[in-house]
Amino acid sequence: METRVIGKSVPRKEGRKKVTGRARYVDDLSFPGMLHGVTVRSPAARGRIRAIRFEGEIPWHEFTVVTAKDIPGKNCIALLIEDQPCLAAEFVNHPEEAIVLLAHHDKYLLEEARRAVRIEIEPLPAIFSIEDSRARKEIIWGQDNIFKSFCVDKGDVDGAWASAAFVVEGRYETGAQEQLYIEPQGMIAQVSEAEGVTVWGSLQCPHYVHKALMVLFGLPRERIRVVQTETGGGFGGKEEYPSMIAAHAALLARKSGRPVKIIYDRAEDMVATTKRHPSRTRHVTALSRDGRLLAMDIDFTVDGGAYETLSPVVLSRGTIHAAGPYACPNVRIRSRAVATNAPPHGAFRGFGAPQSVFALERHLDRVAEAVGIAPDELRRRNFIREGQTLAVGQVVKEKVDMNGLMERAFALSGYHAKRKKFAAANSDPRGAIKKGIGFASFLHGAGFTGSGEEYLASEVAMEAMADGTVHILAGSTEMGQGTNTIFAQIAAEALRLDCEQIKIIQPDTAYVANSGPTVASRTAMIVGKLVETAGLGLLKSLTDGEFLQPGYTAADFSRACGEYVAKHGPLKTFVKYEHPRDLHWDDLKYSGDAYGAYAWAVYVAEVSVDIRTAEVRVNDFVAVQEVGKVINPVLAAGQIEGGVAQGIGFALYENVVWQEGRMVNAQMTNYVMPTSVDLPAIRVYFEEIPYGRGPAGAKGLGELPLDGTAPAIANAIAQATGVDVRQIPITAETLLEMLEGVHA
Amino acid sequence: MRAYLPAYEMETPRDLEAALGRMASEPGVWRPFAGGTDLMVLLEAGKLPHQKFLNIWNLAELRGMEVSSEHVTLGALTTYTEVQRNKTLLREFPLLCRAAAETGSVATQNRGTLGGNIANASPAADSPPALIVYDAEIEIVSAGGSRWVHYASFHTEYKKMNLHAGELIRRIRLLRTHAQWKQYFRKVGTRRAQAISKICFAGAARVEAGRIADVRIALGSVAPTVLHAVRVEELLRGQRPGSAVLQAAQDALNAEIAPIDDMRSTAPYRRNVARNLLAEFLEVLAG
Amino acid sequence: MPERARKIRVSCVVNGGAASFEAYPMARLLDVLREELKLTGTKEGCGEGECGACSIEMDGALVNSCLVPALQAQGTKIRTIEGLAIGGSLHAVQQAFLTHGGAQCGICTPGMILAAANLLARYPQPDDAQIREGLSGNLCRCTGYMKIFESVVAAVRRAETRA
């Protein structure tokens, strides 16, 4: 299909503002009479609040002080349920839980005041590990410490063991990971009788914040307004937590009668906000003599922290992705999200899948070894094909060619030759540098899981102005990933215009349609399709009314818009998501069409390990994926490259050091992400098989790269060193210890 | 930014004499402030206890580099960037240049100074092991005069040093006798750029007729202060660098260091890597 | 409250023009630029000299403005992201970042672009290692740096074709 702007690397819509420093992020905004706000947090992991004392030589009368008593509505951050308080009133359930809020115009004095608030807590026993939570050492949430559990059953796993030639077992762990967007979180709030509650801030999901504020203030929809400011990265970290900061800023604004700005510094952002859920996975896998999967028995647990937040849905995605892109007749997945007394873990790009995919892809390399075939041969014999059924019972209707992706990735990386060469070189005991090459093959579902999109029922509005400018009104946010640009491209394509004629309206709940949260690799595919449909709808209005004839120019379009508006008034279309009738999902059985479409990928990592220091270096990285039609090649490649970089961090560098539920290395100096000298060339390739229901054939790709990067690296390290890597991050400290075992 | 700014004073003295005079008039009250790469970090975290600072960044007496036939003398305010650009240092004192290149980022190297690195007294600092290997001397000045001390004995215990109230590090002097020595430097951090070292090893030796005639070894991040491995040096002098002496040298090193577990690494890791780097150093000497 | 310090007046040259402000002597230059001089293009990412989002040029040298006390700005020449484009015409590095996907969320971008411009002033023809080293103090969480390297290379090429 010939396209005008789809498939072209048009420059980022808001790029000029960003490269000149004119883009305005929340901390760049200042309102007349604005106060600054800070949060005073729990020093203890779990306990009863005994007393709050305001000490020191602080002019306390100048301060606005807010506690739970000042909340007009319900004391909660409403999300899936309402278990997380906005401010702890009687009990605290994790370190750094918010208890008191302070506001003052002098931000230096404010810090002095924050230090002078003494919170006395009578400690209660706390739990800090998945093991202790599952063992119910203490019950800290609900009846059993379990936020949510899932059972996926396909075929008859128990009936498969007897006929198996091989049964391979393994346990795998992944650690917490900080999103580490470079712009720390922040919000500004203003509250007045006339206007209700308005917040401006760095966020992914304006309508999540909107809902939370309605419940907190007990106000109707129209009395709450949420505006997204330019957002300096999110990666899931600004999915649910911004509701908390917005709530705090709004409470201070309400009490003080002034606008209040809360900006977290890096230390507070790291210690208090969400991280990727730590996980434990156990696999037991049965195979035939010729290496075909007979049964996969998977047990998957994630640590949700102290409150439920998004853990059930993170668990869901992790569960559904746990069995990978393989055809196996018998699959059982048991999974659960459990409570511990750590700050709630939350959304992070990949959303549970990177955890379970790490376990699976590392496990399959071990399985191949047990069966006595090459890792690629094991995958080749078991890759899912069109018409076959995934673990959750979804029949694959897409044209999928995992083997083709794998062969292309191998050709581009020189996989086979290197695997051989490294094996020979590594056997020389004198060499201090060992090399390895490894890969992972995986899939990632785009959009909300199961019936999620049906419930969301997203909307997009589009309006053509009299001058021919076309406005897109959607709550989908730009946070670097390219929403503005691809929406403009999709609309421009539908309307046969240039991107310059399309204007993206700043997400503001007072004006834009609720197009759902900007998460779950859903924006391009699901919301993008709504944009396309809206564009075609506008066009139809113009052509049906004979304002516009085929073969029109941009000038014709503008003239037609002017004439239409003069005659009929505003030219606006609303489009609402309609769930395809052939997609079925059963929430009780946890079975059916989990996602409308999947992205498919094979990633190859090449590493070297200095066995003197156990330092690992990734020397080359090839990422091959099929993501449907690529809307903007530069932006799409940028998404994959950035995701791979985060995956390299997840695998090797990023280690949250916990002490009694508190992150103790909450500084960029001590929580280490990759710099420009730590990364290899990240080589990205797309296969494009247009997906019928995506805009111009596009599927989602944002989360995909987090899934396969870490296991590819772990598998490469295993080849290089002979170490059976079972957990990430693979720090030099743990690897050196394991190397001593191998080489002793 | 968590500091209460009105509590912090800072003055710019017009010259070194004025600075020393100020420090002498209120001993222990005024703390020198150079490139700020350590102190500002503490300030921002709300953890900077000292409250009066003398801005010495522009004092000409603390800048510059002199090369004589015997010495290279560096002003205390010599930045890491200046260290890396100096041809004499690159030729004769590569360990110092490597340390400078591996300290922080370009921006840090433009502001961080040798004197500051010494006075900050961190056992994880990158340039001190190199300075010990080169047997650097430092000139300490006060209103009362000046004294030279061997840098190797300057740090006495964790964050403690042989520097009294009213004193300031003025210059660092390196003997130009190491140019022909075989030299080895390796810093191990969590990543390759701007990492704080988990362990840092600097070594140099004069090898004559296959034997180690003289040797200097120092390590960072393995003890409360940067460590001068004197016992390992003693053991290696006169020996051939090879497997015969390796085990004994590693045992000596193991006895000499006292690494700890912290949020950056573990004591066993530091012990093992120290041993392995010593082996690598000896390979360099043998090669 | 212990209050010893008084605000001082500091004069310097910012983006080619005379600037003067009042600040506590140990106020961060970062805050002064953003709050007193309203130059909000310089960003705070970590507040400890680690991320480089606050990178500016001071007397031609790249520095982290979060680590420079206001007092030390006295008499210096400062360049921020706002001083890079001349009139409406983008600096070669800015143009390259725009065209080659060097900016995603944009928060590291001002510091990254200053670091890149500073690198090109020191090494007009940088090799891959020099680009990587020169930018290693500027953390980017979005791009994985690849498009940033491409942008720098493109800026060099553009400068070459102009010369």
Question: CA of A329 to nearest chain C CA: how many angstroms apart?
Answer: 39
For chain C, how are helix, strand and coil distributed in percent, rounded to 5? Answer: 40, 20, 40
DSSP state of B162: S
E strands, A519-657, where? 571-576, 585-586, 591-592, 597-610, 615-626
Nearest CB among B6, B194, B277 relative to A108 is that of B6
pLDDT at position A742 is 67
Question: CA of A145 to nearest chain B CA: how many angstroms apart?
Answer: 29
Looking at the complex, does the CB of residue A27 fall below 8 Å from at least one CB of chain B? no
pLDDT mean over A222-227: 98
**Which CATH class name applies to B182-286?**
alpha beta
Looking at the complex, does the CB of residue B2 fall below 8 Å from at least one CB of chain A? yes
User: Measured between alpha carbons, how far is residue A211 from residues A80, A96, A226 in Å?
Assistant: 11, 24, 10
N-term to C-term CA, chain B: 51
Question: Closest chain C residue to B192 measured between Cα atoms?
Answer: C136
Q: What φ, ψ does residue A605 adopt, rounded to 5°?
A: -120, 140
> Helix (H, G, I), strand (E, B), or coil: what is residue A663?
strand
pLDDT at position A1 is 60
pLDDT mean over A553-573: 98
**What are the DSSP calls for A157-187, one per residue?**
STTTSTT-SEEEEEEEEE---B---SS--EE
Asked if A612 lies within 8 A of B280 by C-beta distance, the reply is: yes
Q: Which fold has domain C92-162?
A: DNA polymerase; domain 1 (1.10.150)
Residue C4: is its pLDDT beyond 80? Answer: no
Q: How confident is the model at residue A10 (pLDDT cuts 50, 70, 90)?
A: very high
Which letter, b or e, does each residue of C61-91 get, where b requires 16 or more Cβ atoms within 10 Å of its Cβ? bbbbbbbbbbbbbeebebbbbbbbbeeeebb
> Architecture of domain B5-55 in CATH?
2-Layer Sandwich (3.30)
User: For B204-236, what is each residue's pLDDT tens digit?
Assistant: 999 999 999 999 999 999 999 999 999 999 999
pLDDT mean over B185-203: 94
User: Are A250 and A133 contacting, i.e. CB atoms less than 8 angstroms apart?
Assistant: no
Nearest CB among B194, B198, B269 relative to A675 is that of B194
Residue C1: is its pLDDT beyond 90? Answer: no
User: For C24-54, what is each residue's pLDDT tens digit?
Assistant: 999 999 999 999 999 999 999 999 999 999 9
Nearest CB among A21, A235, A634 relative to C100 is that of A634
User: For B171-187, what is each residue's pLDDT tens digit?
Assistant: 999 999 999 999 999 99
Q: What φ, ψ does residue C101 adopt, rounded to 5°?
A: 75, 25
Nearest CB among A184, A642, A668 relative to C48 is that of A668
Q: How confident is the model at residue A158 (pLDDT cuts 50, 70, 90)?
A: very high
Asked if B4 lies within 8 A of A112 by C-beta distance, the reply is: yes
**Cα(B5)–Cα(A148) distance, integer angstroms:** 48
Nearest CB among C47, C137, C138 relative to B1 is that of C47
Kindly list the structural domains of chain A, giving each domain's residue range(s) and its CATH number in brackets, ordered by start. Answer: 34-124+180-272 (3.30.365.10), 279-449+589-743 (3.30.365.10), 452-576 (3.30.365.10)
Nearest CB among C39, C45, C101 relative to A634 is that of C101
pLDDT at position C160 is 81
Question: Closest chain C residue to B58 measured between Cα atoms?
Answer: C72
Looking at the complex, does the CB of residue C97 fall below 8 Å from at least one CB of chain A? yes
DSSP state of B238: T
Task: To the nearest 10°, report the CA torsion of A300, A305, A307, A308.
Answer: -20
Q: Which residue has the tokens 């009479």?
A: A33
Asked if B266 lies within 8 A of A733 by C-beta distance, the reply is: yes
For chain A, how are helix, strand and coil distributed in percent, rounded to 5? Answer: 30, 25, 40
Question: What is the H or E stretch that residue C57 is in?
Answer: strand C55-58
For chain A, the average pLDDT equals 97
User: For A693-711, what is each residue's pLDDT tens digit?
Assistant: 999 999 999 999 999 999 9
Q: Sign (positive/negative) of CA torsion A207, A213, A214, A216? A: positive
- Long-range interactions of A387-392: CB distance < 8 A, separation 24+: A388/A327, A389/A154, A389/A327, A390/A323, A390/A325, A390/A594, A391/A152, A391/A154, A391/A296, A391/A320, A391/A322, A391/A323, A391/A328, A391/A331, A391/A333, A392/A152, A392/A154, A392/A320, A392/A590, A392/A591, A392/A592, A392/A594
Residue B29: is its pLDDT beyond 80? Answer: yes
Looking at the complex, does the CB of residue C3 fall below 8 Å from at least one CB of chain A? no
Residue C162: is its pLDDT beyond 80? Answer: no
Domain with CATH 3.30.390.50 in chain B: 182-286
Find chain A residues with C-beta within 8 A of B3's C-beta.
108, 111
Closest CA to A359 of A722, A719, A711, A712: A711
Residue A649: is its pLDDT beyond 80? Answer: yes
Token digits of residue A231: 């957002």
Token digits of residue A720: 């290089």
Residues whose CB is less than 8 angstroms from the CB of residue B14 and which lie 6 or more positions away in sequence, other chains included:
none
Q: Would residue A316 be called left, alpha or beta, if left means φ above 0 and alpha means ψ between -120 and 50 degrees?
A: alpha
User: Measured between alpha carbons, how far is residue A512 from residues A122, A230, A468, A503 in Å?
Assistant: 47, 16, 19, 13
Identify which has the larger pLDDT, C86 or A447: A447
Choose the CATH number for C8-83 among 3.10.20.30, 3.40.50.2000, 2.30.38.10, 3.30.1010.10. Answer: 3.10.20.30
Q: How confident is the model at residue A379 (pLDDT cuts 50, 70, 90)?
A: very high
Token digits of residue A208: 């999540």
Looking at the complex, does the CB of residue A186 fall below 8 Å from at least one CB of chain C? no
The CA angle A675-A679-A682, to the nearest 5 degrees, is: 135
Percentage of the residues of chain B whose pLDDT score is greater than 90: 97
pLDDT at position A315 is 98
Asked if B6 lies within 8 A of C61 by C-beta distance, the reply is: no
**Which CATH class name applies to B60-175?**
alpha beta
User: Are A307 and A86 contacting, i.e. CB atoms less than 8 angstroms apart?
Assistant: no
Question: What is the H or E stretch that residue A554 is in?
Answer: helix A554-568
User: Are A483 and A445 contacting, i.e. CB atoms less than 8 angstroms apart?
Assistant: no
Amino acid at B172: I
The CA angle C81-C87-C90, to the nearest 5 degrees, is: 55
Residue A510: is its pLDDT beyond 90? Answer: yes
Q: Which residue has the tokens 């040029």?
A: C57
**Cα(A378)–Cα(A206) distance, integer angstroms:** 45
Token digits of residue C21: 């402000």
Domain with CATH 3.30.465.10 in chain B: 60-175
Domain with CATH 3.30.43 in chain B: 5-55
Amino acid at C33: L
Cβ neighbours, 10 Å, residue C157? 12
Asked if C72 lies within 8 A of B36 by C-beta distance, the reply is: yes
Residues 706-735 of A with CB under 8 A from B: 731-733
pLDDT at position B50 is 81
Residue A26: is its pLDDT beyond 60? Answer: yes
> Helix (H, G, I), strand (E, B), or coil: what is residue A108?
helix
Q: Would residue A145 be called left, alpha or beta, if left means φ above 0 and alpha means ψ between -120 and 50 degrees?
A: left
Angle in degrees, 0-180, between the axes of helices A353-371 and A311-320, rounded to the nearest 10? 30
For chain B, how are helix, strand and coil distributed in percent, rounded to 5? Answer: 35, 25, 35
Asked if C69 lies within 8 A of B55 by C-beta distance, the reply is: yes
List all chains that touch chain A, counting a touch as 3 or more CB pairs closer than 8 Å.
Answer: B, C
Find chain B residues with C-beta within 8 A of C64's C-beta.
107-108, 111
User: Are A693 and A598 contacting, i.e. CB atoms less than 8 angstroms apart?
Assistant: no
User: Are A482 and A518 contacting, i.e. CB atoms less than 8 angstroms apart?
Assistant: no
Asked if B191 lies within 8 A of A672 by C-beta distance, the reply is: yes
pLDDT at position C3 is 64
Asked if A668 lies within 8 A of C98 by C-beta distance, the reply is: no
Asked if B111 lies within 8 A of C52 by C-beta distance, the reply is: no
pLDDT mean over B139-144: 98
Distance of CA A462 to the CA centre of its chain: 27
**Cα(A449)–Cα(A559) distance, integer angstroms:** 43
Q: Which residue has the tokens 């010893």?
A: C4
User: For C87-139, what is each residue's pLDDT tens digit?
Assistant: 889 999 999 999 999 999 999 999 999 999 999 999 999 999 999 999 999 99
**What are the DSSP calls for A490-545, one per residue?**
HHHHHHT--GGGEEEPPPBTTTSB----S-TT-IIIIIHHHHHHHHHHHHHHHHHT
Considering only the C-alpha atoms of chain B, give the largest distance between any 2 of them, rounded to a whole number of Å: 64
Closest CA to A283 of A337, A361, A363: A363
Q: Which residue has the tokens 């115009």?
A: A105
Residue A743: is its pLDDT beyond 60? Answer: no
Asked if B106 lies within 8 A of C118 by C-beta distance, the reply is: yes
Token digits of residue A597: 């479409």
Looking at the complex, does the CB of residue C51 fall below 8 Å from at least one CB of chain A? yes
**Cα(B84)–Cα(A177) distance, integer angstroms:** 36
Asked if C141 lies within 8 A of A644 by C-beta distance, the reply is: no
Residue B22: is its pLDDT beyond 80? Answer: yes
pLDDT mean over A612-637: 98
Find chain C residues with C-beta within 8 A of A635's C-beta.
101
